[in-house]
Every structure is written in structure tokens, then in C-alpha cells.
Amino acid sequence: MKKILFVASEAVPFIKTGGLADVVGSLPKCFNKEYYDVRVMIPKYLCIKQEWRDKMDYIDHFYMDYMGQSRYVGIMHYEHEGIHFYFIDNEGYFSGPKPYGDWLYDLEKFSFFCNAALSALPVIGFQPDVVHCHDWQTGLIPVYLKDRFRGGEFFCNMKSVFTIHNLKFQGVWDVKTIQRFSGLSNYYFAPDKLEAYKDGNLLKGGVVFADAITTVSDTYAEEIKMPFYGEGLDGLMRARSGSLRGIVNGIDYDDFNPATDSMIEQVYDARNFRKEKIKNKRALQRELGLDEDDGRMMIGVVSRLTDQKGFDLIQYVMEDLCSDAIQLVVLGTGEERYENMFRHFAWKYPGKVAALIYYSEPMSHKIYAASDAFLMPSLFEPCGLSQLMALRYGTVPIVRETGGLKDTVEPYNEFEGTGTGFSFTNYNAHEMLASVRYAERVYYDKKREWNKLIDRAMAKDYSWNASALKYQELYDWLIGY
Ligand code: ADP
Ligand code: GLC
């Protein structure tokens, strides 16, 4: 049995701020259980819902020297859908209202977490062959496995994989501070190790020291070797390109299944969507006070409201969009200027625009099910899960051709009758608008073609099946058998 440990800062169903949580919570279930024992370790945040916290069992605790003090490390456990989840407990560090808050404190908190996660392994008696680390919060683990945790039998053969979900966030502060938090010697603070542009950089530690690096789509794996997407580390990505590969994300096909989803008004599938899917649109129009019109094209957006997701493009042509015969339903939180922009347009165009400025899992499902199209014009997108959810619900994505959006949405070709969505190349508001309007024309003037787009979208398989096999191959290769 090969033993794999996922270490990350979030995982569904316990705590989620974005797609990282979906991946860490759903991928472990999809490995071949006969050969792979995949477990997950995350912090035990106080902001994890009480219903989950109540279910956790206390396993053990110990005290660990960290930054000159002896710190409590509790280990909690809960088995969810056949997967063992471990939770690292320290109320001092993990008590905020959200997993992330103040940058400086987050750096200390996740440095502590990396130390505690590895130290906890002998205590729980789980000796992974591979530690699979996700994003900057776990960047120190590959470093520690080659450094302070190297000696002794328990850790000496442990391999590490580092997956980049978003290169934008790197965990950066001045060298002195990162040195203090990580406890690493001067040796590590050189430009070929954790130092980047004179600062300490935790993600760089993970990328330099991991035995293998992955990112969440093929296109993003190529893009980050270029300055535009490289976030200052494109040189490093080129240097490490022999150990870097893209493995596209999947989604949980049980949680996101229009045929069984209990959060939506009317279930439907690839055979009966023509008749049934519309009932979700009707229900949502009613619930949100939009014009109750079956024929009106509804465009959905479910997203963090940040620059990454292309909201400046939407803002730029929002008046034009609102002059079209569409409805726009936006669910998201994030930068205030975008939150207020959507609130403003919802006020100006009631019946046409709904601005839902909050986080809600059930509402997100209703939007994936009710909308005709799904808009995601990202500036960059390592993979993107929302467009996969849209495809699964027969909601036609309109995306910019970048990262995982490019790899998962096939542009509509009216001559060949192929494609699962609409896309545009340049980061330009009018190109986006042209794509939306092309989609509108197909929706209004060629309904049969539109329905065939839905047929093809729903026939795609973006479950984890194929990608879990690729991770298995990678683990096998690392372990050496
Ligand atoms: P990212 O991780 O960059 O935010 P992804 O597309 O990979 O983007 O994943 C986003 C996930 O978060 C999806 O599961 C999406 O449905 C969900 N999500 C984003 N905003 C909200 C919200 N306001 N309410 C509910 N779910 C949301
Ligand atoms: C990040 C990326 C997103 C990706 C997710 C899961 O949040 O922004 O594109 O889908 O991680 O890998």
C-alpha cells in the first residue's frame, strides 16, 4: 500500500475560500483504494463550522519548540467519506474569523503549521511515502524534508510533491522575518533557494526543494514559464521545467450532479435538460425578483470578485451588457469596488441584474443549474473549477483562453458543429463583449445549435478519473516502483 499525505490550508467540506479546498477535499477520494492510502492534514481553524468540529476525535497532543517557545500541537481526526482527515490544533494560531487575514501573521501561522504537520506524523504513526503539498502555505515542507527532518529513519525516504494552484500568492516577507518563522539557516537564503528579489519566499522553497512540481492545467504549466504569468518566478519555472507538469483539475461528480442535486429546484440530466433545466431558471428568477421570462438568456457568475477573474473587463462594458436582452446573476465577494459596481447595476436595472454579494454553496448550485451561460473572463486562471461545474450543469461557459479555461472549454465552431463554449483570446473588454454577443445570437437565433452545445458540454467528463491516474503515476515514479 502506498501512503500519501495531502497537506493544505483548506479542504471541503470543512473550510473553503476557493478552488483549492474543492481539490484537496475531493481528489483523495478518487485514488485506487487497493493501492493508495491517501490522507489529508489541514489546520483546525476555529472558523470551521461547529457541526464538523463536534465530529472530530482527539488523537493526541505534544509540545513543539517553535520560535524559541514550547507550543501546543493537538491532533484531531475525522473520517469523512472514507478519507482520514487530520486537523492540527493550536488555538493561538488558528483562531481568526477566516483562514487567512493579516499577511505577516499568516506567514508565521503556516510556518508553524508546516513544522507541526511533519512533527505530528510519528505521533499518529502514519509514515507517508509522498507528502503532497499545496500552495505557499505548505512551501516549507519540501524544504524541511531535505533539512531538519531528514535525519532518522522515519523521514529519510519521504518524497514531496508541490502543487501550484495560484502563483500570484507566494508568501513573501523580508529575509530576516522568513528566517525567524522558518528557523532555516543562512544557507537557505540565497537566490537559488528561498530568496527572491532580496526577500524570503515560501512558495519558492517548495518549488526549489520538492521532488516533483505540478500545477493544475497544461496551459498554466507553460504560461508560468513566461514573464506575463510568471509572477517574477518564470526563470525558476523554466529552470525547474524538467520536474514541472500540468495535471488538470476535476470536480466531485457526486457533489456536482444535476441529476441528484438536492440544492436545486428541478433535477435534470443530459437526456431531459431541454424540458427540465428551465424550471431552475424560473425558480431563480422568482426568488431573485428578476423578470419572469423563460426566453430571456440568463448569464451566471460565481466567483471571488478580484482582478484575477477579469472583472475590470466586465465593469468596462457593463452598460453595454445591460442594454442587451440578457439577465445577469452574480454571486461573489471580494474587492469592494466590484461588489459596489454590481450592487449599483442591480439597483439601476432591477429585473435584469441580481447582485448577490455573499458566499453560499446552495445559491452557487442554483446559479449553475439555472443559467444559460456562465461568464469567466479571467486575466489568468491556473485551472478554474467554476467552468467545469457550469459544463456539468449544461450551462455554456464564455471564457478567456487562458490556463485551465483554455484546456477545458472548447470554442464553438458553427461550421463544424463542435465546441462546448465561447471564448476569446486577448484581455480586452470588447473582445469579451463580442463573445457574449455571439453567444446571444446563437441562443436567440439558433436554439437547436445552442442545445447541441449543451449536449456536448454535458457529455464531457471532468470528473477526477483521468487526473487521479496521472497523480498515481507521478507518485509511483517518485516512490520508484
Ligand atoms: P478560485 O479557486 O480561483 O477562486 P475556482 O474556479 O478554482 O477559482 O474555484 C472557485 C470555487 O469557489 C468554485 O467551487 C465556486 O463555485 C466557489 N465559489 C466562489 N465564490 C463563491 C460564492 N460567493 N459562493 C459560493 N461558492 C463560491
Ligand atoms: C486556485 C486557482 C484556480 C484553481 C484552484 C484549484 O484558486 O485560482 O484556477 O482552479 O486553485 O486548483
Q: How far apart are CA 220 and CA 212, in angstroms?
A: 16
Per-position DSSP letters for 191-260, written without gaps between them: TTTTEETTEEEHHHHHHHH-SEEEES-HHHHHHTTSHHHHTT-HHHHHHTGGGEEE------TTTS-TTT
Ligand 1 touching residue 451 (CB < 6 A): no
Adjacent-strand bridge partners of 299? 328, 373
Q: In what order do the strands lie in the sheet with 69-80?
A: 57-66, 69-80, 83-89, 36-43, 2-7, 130-134, 159-164, 212-215, 244-246
DSSP class of residue 167 equals T
Closest C-alpha to ligand 2, atom 12: 165
Atom of ligand 1 at shortest distance to CA of 356? Answer: 23
**φ/ψ (deg, to 5) at 413:** -120, 105
pLDDT at 194 over 70: yes
Q: What is the pLDDT of residues 116-171, one digit of tens each?
A: 999 999 999 999 999 999 999 999 999 999 998 988 899 999 999 999 999 999 99
- Is the Cβ–Cβ distance between 61 and 34 less than 8 Å? no
Say which ligand is closest to the CA of 167: 2
Ligand 1 atom nearest to CA at 23 = 7
pLDDT band at 316 (very low <50, low <70, confident <90, very high): very high
Whole-number percent of the chain with pLDDT over 70: 100
Closest CA to 297 of 403, 238, 371: 371
**pLDDT tens-digit map of 254-300:** 999 999 999 999 999 999 999 999 999 999 999 999 999 999 999 99
Whether 11 lines ligand 1, by a CB cut-off of 6 Å, is no
DSSP designation for 412: P
Spell 304-314 as b/e; 16+ CB within 10 A means b: bbbbbbbbebb
Q: How far is the CA of 34 from the centre of ligand 1 (A)?
A: 32
Which residues on neighbouring strands pair with residue 279, listed in sequence order? Answer: none
Ligand 1 pocket check for 244: Cβ under 6 Å = no
Ligand 2: atom nearest CA of 22 is 6
Q: How far is CA 45 from CA 87, 109, 248, 315, in A?
A: 9, 11, 29, 35
List pLDDT tens digits, range 286-299: 999 999 999 999 99
Give the three cell numbers for residue 356: 448577490
Q: Which of the listed residues 17, 20, 408 should we mutate to test ligand 2's pocket, taking the one with most ligand atoms within 8 A of CB?
A: 20
Q: Is the CB of 18 under 6 A from ligand 2?
A: yes
Atom of ligand 1 nearest to the CA of 385: 6
The Cα 423–Cα 405 span in angstroms is 9
Asked whether 177 lines ligand 1 (CB < 6 A), one says no
For ligand 2, whether the C-beta of 164 sits within 6 Å is no
Are the beta carbons of 42 and 24 closer than 8 angstroms?
A: yes
Going by DSSP bridges, is the β-strand pair 69-80/353-356 parallel, antiparallel, or unpaired? unpaired
pLDDT average, residue stretch 221-229: 98
Tens digit of pLDDT for each residue in 14-41?
Answer: 999 999 999 999 999 999 999 999 999 9
Please report the pLDDT score of residue 152 as a whole number.
82
Q: CA separation (Å) from 8 to 22, 89, 113, 205?
A: 11, 14, 10, 15
- The rounded Å distance from CA 383 to ligand 2 centre is 5
Mutation to probe ligand 2, out of 27, 219, 248, 249 (largest number of atoms < 8 A from CB): 249
Centroid of chain to Cα 27: 12
The finding on whether 362 has its CB within 6 A of some atom of ligand 1 is: no
Strand-by-strand arrangement of the 199-201 sheet: 172-174, 199-201, 195-196
Question: What is this structure's pTM?
Answer: 0.97
H helix count then E strand count, the chain:
20, 18
CB burial of residue 449 (10 Å; 0-12, 13-18, 19+) = middle
8 A C-beta contact, residue 45 and residue 97? no
For ligand 2, atom 3: residue with the closest CA: 384
Given this model, what pLDDT does residue 481 score? 67
Any ligand 1 atom below 6 A from CB of 387: no
Q: What confidence category does residue 345 fall into, taking pLDDT thresholds of 50, 70 and 90?
A: very high
Mapped onto helix, strand or coil, the DSSP state of residue 467 is: helix
Q: How far is the CA of 81 from the centre of ligand 1 (A)?
A: 22
- Predicted local distance difference test score (pLDDT) of residue 412: 98
Residue type, 5: L
CA 18 to centroid of ligand 2, rounded, Å? 7
Residue in this structure with the C-alpha cell 499577511, named with its chain if needed: 103
Query: In the numeric block, which cell numbers belong to residue 134?
Result: 499545496
Mean pLDDT score across all residues of the chain = 97
What is the rounded radius of gyration, in angstroms, for the C-alpha atoms of the chain? 23
Atom of ligand 2 nearest to the CA of 168: 8
**Rounded CA gap, 293 and 282, in Å?**
8
Task: Write phi, then psi, for 89 (nearest 5 degrees).
Answer: -105, 125
Helix (H, G, I), strand (E, B) or coil at 62: strand
> What is the rounded distance in angstroms from the CA atom of residue 25 to the CA atom of residue 124?
20
Task: Return the ligand number nearest the Cα of 368.
Answer: 1
Q: Which atom of ligand 2 is nearest to the CA of 163?
A: 12
Question: Degrees (nearest 5) of the Cα angle 86, 92, 94?
Answer: 45
Within 240-360, residue ranges assigned H as helices are 273-288, 311-316, 318-323, 336-348
CB 171 within 8 A of CB 135: no
Residues 167, 231 contacting (CB under 8 angstroms) = yes
**Distance between CA 481 and CA 208 in Å, rounded?**
24
Measured from the Cα of 165, ligand 2's closest atom is 11
Q: Is 165 in the pocket of ligand 2 (CB under 6 A)?
A: yes
Could you give all domains of the chain from N- to C-terminal order, each with its CATH number?
A: 2-250+465-479 (3.40.50.2000), 273-460 (3.40.50.2000)
The Cα 248–Cα 12 span in angstroms is 19
Nearest to residue 365, comparing CAs of 250, 272, 248, 252? 252
Residue-wise pLDDT for 447-472, tens only, equals 999 999 999 999 999 999 999 999 99
pLDDT for residue 465: 97
Residue with CA closest to ligand 1 atom 19: 303
Separation of CA 376 and ligand 1 centre (Å): 11
